[in-house]
Amino acid sequence: DIQMTQSPSSLSASVGDRVTITCRASQSISTYLNWYQQKPGIAPKLLIYAASSLQSGVPSRFSGSGSGTDFTLTISSLQPEDFATYYCQQSYSTPSFGQGTKVEIK
């Protein structure tokens, strides 16, 4: 099984901040990496697929990068609606998620 490790597990940030979340795979997964946003009580929402492709309708302040084992999700200027939990997911083999990163208001 491929293990996905996100860091940090949580962070506090202010509106307008640049936020970076890291996801590391236990083995190379090429670019088979997707990112989701989840708000409390709501189903997850796809943000980024194939490591760096922006899902239709997702604001351009979200971006993804990386390949192999190390990936990042960047929010260029944090907005009030971005406070949520973010998950990475590998789809190289049997899909699995990272443990999540909670972005909280500072």
Partner 1 sequence: EVQLVQSGAEVKKPGESLKISCKGSGYSFTSYWIGWVRQMPGKGLEWMGIIYPGDSDTRYSPSFQGQVTISADKSISTAYLQWSSLKASDTAMYYCARHGDPYYYYMDVWGKGTTVTVSS
- Cis check for the bond before 8: say yes or no (omega within 30 of 0): yes
Residues within the interface to partner 1 (CB under 8 A) = 1, 32, 34, 36, 38, 43-46, 49-50, 55, 87, 89, 91, 94-100
Q: Which among 10, 79, 86, 85 has a CA at the least distance from the CA of 40?
A: 85
67 versus 96: smaller Cβ distance to partner 1: 96
What is the nearest approach in angstroms of partner 1 to the Cβ of residue 91?
Answer: 4
What is the nearest approach in angstroms of partner 1 to the Cβ of residue 70?
Answer: 18
